[in-house]
Amino acid sequence: MADTNLPTFAEELDDLAKEYNDMRELHKKYKEKLEEVRTMQRKCTAMVGHQKKKYKQIAEDLQREGSKLSGEEKAKSNELKKLIDERKKTCGEVYDTLPRSNSFLLNTIMGPISVSILNKTDRFAYKEEYERFKLYLSIIMLVGATINTLFIKNSQVNTVKPNRIVRICDACYHFLLVWYYCTLVVRESILRHNGSRIKGWWVVHHYLSVLLTAILLIWPDSVSYRMFRNQFMIFSLYLSVVQLIQYYYQSGCLYRLRALGEKSDMYITVEGFQNWMWRGLTFLLPFLFVAYTWQFYNAYTLYHLSKHPDCNEWMVPVSSAIFLSLFLGNSITTSGVIVNKFRAKQQRSSASVKNKGS
């Protein structure tokens, strides 16, 4: 009978027996602790909700009683309001470390699974990965737009027979845009769920971008498409360059905020200008406003295309309306931030002059 390695295998299994039993015991304790943590999370969530509700009620009662109070009572009332604000802030910090219910969008896309990131380090890592995702996709879109603009041209606008190579390349590029903005919406929703500071128009901007790129994807190869195609590809090329410039500028702003010790962990970059981005303003703004003006020009071009006798597609007027909405929203939002910043700067200057005078 030939020699076998069975005795060796048996010895190795015997050596692993103690570690195996330790692993099972440790896993049992882990499951117990995990259930204990979940119970504590539910209790903390309920307590935080009750605390916030009561503080809100007390603050409203103090506000109603304000006109009835004497001088000493008003001082006491102000102390109570200050205490309420401090405790509400603490409740907010506690709430940030607890799992929360998903928004409607996240529930629709991902189901009831929790996307709460409870650890601050993990939140920052996810945010950094989101920024890298935008950078890499901006580079890929820049390459795609360059190829479609410089090397794959649709010179025959009025021909009936479509150019399949052009159409396939365009469809691939438009699909990339749809996938990019859809992924961006989901990732931003997760970031906002975990305390990110992107709000308002820039959220709407990405929903409109999803709709616009989807329309471009399904737009049939027609006279109107060919008449607008080259203009859009050049615009996409410029927009990709602006996004890369913007990424490095905004990353520099975030780095300076962290170096100054300001709370900036969940700030994320957007296709515009925000309150925390101020230094280097004159460098970035011309690029942004050229892009916004180009969006208006796209809307104007599509509006006139919609009146073309050979234009029968609904995509043309709808795309024109979306480009116009993007132009108005981007311009108004960015201009509003700039005006508010200048007003705040003037107020600080006036205050410093008064202090010097006194």
**pLDDT of 210 strictly over 50:** yes
State the pLDDT confidence band at 109, using cuts at 50, 70 and 90.
confident
Query: What's the N-to-C CA distance of the chain in angstroms?
Result: 106
Tokens linked to 337: 């931030």
* pLDDT tens track for 228-274: 999 999 999 999 999 888 888 777 766 666 665 555 555 555 555 44
**pLDDT of 105 over the 60 cut:** yes
Residue of 148, 310, 304 whose CA lies nearest to 223: 310
Q: What is the pLDDT of residues 121-157, one digit of tens each?
A: 888 888 888 888 999 999 999 999 999 988 887 655 5
Burial class (CB in 10 A: 0-12, 13-18, 19+), 199: exposed
What pLDDT, in 10s, does the model give residues 337-348?
788 777 766 776
C-alpha closest to that of 285 among 346, 340, 348, 335 = 335
Tell me: the pLDDT tens digits for 38-83? 999 999 999 999 999 999 999 888 888 777 777 777 888 888 889 9
User: Do residues 330 and 295 make contact, with C-beta atoms less than 8 angstroms apart?
Assistant: yes
Q: What share of the chain is helix, strand, coil (3-state, %, to 5)?
A: 80, 0, 20
